Amino acid sequence: MSKIRSIEDIRYQLAALAAFAAIKHPRGNLDLEAAENRIWEEVLEAIVEDRFVAPNEAARLALTSRQIKFDRHCT
């Protein structure tokens, strides 16, 4: 995964996560929860590094990943 540097990067990563979550995988689910966590981690790093004009918007957008349906071990 490339570093998140913009709101568009977050949207792209969320779309990719949603696309993978929608696919039935023959060998079980990919680790979608880990992918979601990586998105959150990247956004937090970007906020700390002051890469966003509107960090609250970036955080809000990243948290919308909770609306993507897949099995999570933690809720």
Query: How many residues belong to the chain?
Result: 75
Cα distances from 46 to residues 11, 26, 54, in angstroms, run 14, 35, 11
Per the CB < 8 A criterion, the answer to whether 7 and 61 are in contact is yes
User: Does 73 fall in a domain?
Assistant: no
The rounded distance, in Å, linking the Cα atoms of 58 and 75 is 21
CA atoms within 13 A on the CB side of 16: 14
- Domain annotation covers residue 29: yes
Q: Residue 30: what pLDDT?
A: 67
Report the number of distinct structural domains present in the chain. 1
Span 50-72, average pLDDT: 94
2 is a domain residue: no
- pTM recorded for the entire structure: 0.85
Q: For 3-52, how does the pLDDT look when each residue is reduced to its tens digit (9 = 90+)?
A: 898 999 999 999 999 999 998 776 655 688 999 999 999 999 999 999 99
- Residue 1 placed within a domain: no
Query: Of 49, 48, 57, which is closest to residue 8 (Cα–Cα)?
Result: 57
What pLDDT is recorded for position 75? Answer: 56
Model confidence at 66, pLDDT cuts 50, 70, 90, reads very high
Which structural domain range is residue 31 located in?
7-67
